[in-house]
Structure 1
């Protein structure tokens, strides 16, 4: 099994180019970013080239974070801002050769919000240029009021968009918090999954504790033929280099 370091959380005490180098030194197979826009994409690309690590994706802008925004694409009346954020993310993805862009929905509800999200995703697909477009359900505890909460809702949105470019970001942490049954969800949704992330439940820490037995999940994904590196998106107050025992254990195939 291969693993990707989510550099939004890991080694977040340094610029993205240095996070990429740290991920390579730690033995990760890929990286993914959150919001790298303060870093020159040329510097990020140089670090990716230097390390040989592929970048699996990045997020669209959250919007006005100070005002409490967490994405724009399901907000009626904010289509201009949402599409500017999509184009910004795609331009950055092209510059660093990232595989996917995660289009963040934001805090919204109702049919108008759903129609807005679908339209903005169709806009993103039309401009993706061969890159993937991802959508991700966020759990109601960490992100109360976020438009997309469950994999079932995401599957409905993907079907409505009607373009194979858009896929589900299957975050085991968020989906376990929203009801679990990860085994059947992975089996049933595999055709529309574009990326998989993980962290311990319920504390979002390293994946070697908590209510999800990740050796089983990793083994299941292997049985299902999953080949893309799995995204380690966990939070830990310790320096990241002190949190990686789980990675050694997973590499050795131990439980």
Structure 2
């Protein structure tokens, strides 16, 4: 049966990160993950994770100068020193918080130089992460939300994983991004399961709660069970309002809501 991780880059964003972790625990999530937690000290975050008993599954390297439009640095040939500083920072934070993986963000780039730079930086990241048992993740992003992003498809990601040749490099398979770029999620999951390190999901095309849209997630969750995927799946969607009001897709949540409604009707009768 599928278990779930709350991506706190999108869920409970009105709360501080420690408070969001507590909210995820109260809502019944089995793990948490985040985007850029660096404004909170690693010691504070580690304490809250210990308090709640929730593991932190992953975090991202910094994007760079977001005011200038950066969305990652590791495929930018003229930003290698900055990219490696961001990798070092992310790995150190992951070690301090017992976080399982680090997503190394490529950035806006294209061409052979960008490819070679990304490969070199990924090897650097994998070498630095390996002694700590940390997995390095790469994630294709869709061309609508991130036009010009270097890593766009799962085929490109697979080629990079093979070329880098590190046992601790894996694919972040975000169903939302993959559906927009490639579709065919069931076959893609089957074909790529051997290199998938984490799975994320949201409705398509609006990236909201996974209870509507063109992807039938009960099928995807059942398929992942069939394929033997046994780690929490990342709920990385934009709730568009109070997060707690959007959790009816979680197993048990809809049934509980139905029971509350039935009880209310019985009392009125």
**Aligned-partner Cα distance in 2 for 1:100–1:251:** 31
Paired residue secondary structure (2:40): coil
Q: Which residue of 2 aligns with 1:80?
A: 81
Indicate the residue corresponding to 1:211 in structure 2. 214
Aligned equivalent of 1:200, options 189, 200, 203: 203
- Equivalent residues of 1:73, 1:116 under 8 A apart: yes
Q: Secondary structure at the match of 1:231?
A: strand
Q: Does the 8 A contact of 1:199 with 1:206 survive in 2?
A: yes
Tell me how far apart the structure 1 counterparts of residues 49 and 13 of structure 2 sit (CA, whole Å): 17
Aligned residues: 252
Q: How does 1:30-49 map to 2 (within 5 A)?
A: 30-49=31-50
Q: Structure 1 CA distance, aligned partners of 2:217 and 2:182?
A: 17
Pairing 1:29–2:30 present = yes
Q: Describe the superposition over 1:228-251 as per-residue Cα deviations: whole angstroms up to 9, x where unpaired.
A: 000000002211111111114578
1:64 aligned partner: 65
Paired position in structure 1 for 2:185: 182
Match of 2:239 in 1: 236
Match of 1:153 among 130, 153, 156: 156
Aligned-residue CA RMSD in angstroms? 1.0
CA distance in 2, matches of 1:190, 1:249: 27
How far off is 1:15 after superposition?
A: 1.5
Any idea what the Cα deviations from partners look like across 1:115-172, whole Å, max 9, x if unmatched?
0000000000110021000000000000000000000000000111011110000000
CA distance in 2, matches of 1:80, 1:147: 18
TM-score normalised by length of structure 1: 0.97
Once residues 181 and 124 of structure 2 are traced to their aligned partners in structure 1, the CA distance between those partners, rounded to angstroms, is 29
State how far apart, in whole Å, the 1-side matches of 2:18 and 2:95 are: 17
Match of 2:169 among 166, 169, 178: 166
Within 1, Cα distance between the matches of 2:27 and 2:46? 19
Partner residue of 2:111? Answer: 110
Q: Could you tell me the TM-score, scaled by structure 2's length?
A: 0.92
Q: Residue 215 of structure 1 contacts residue 250 of structure 1 at CA under 8 Å; is this kept in 2?
A: no
Structure possessing the higher radius of gyration over alpha carbons: 2
SS at match of 2:224: helix
What secondary structure, in the 3-state scheme, does the structure 2 residue paired with 1:141 have? coil
Distance in 2 separating the partners of 1:39 and 1:215: 35
Aligned to 1:139, the other structure's residue is in SS state coil
Using the alignment, how far apart are the partners of 2:17 and 2:194 within structure 1?
32
Structure 2 spans left out of the alignment, 5+ residues: 256-269
Aligned to 1:9: 10
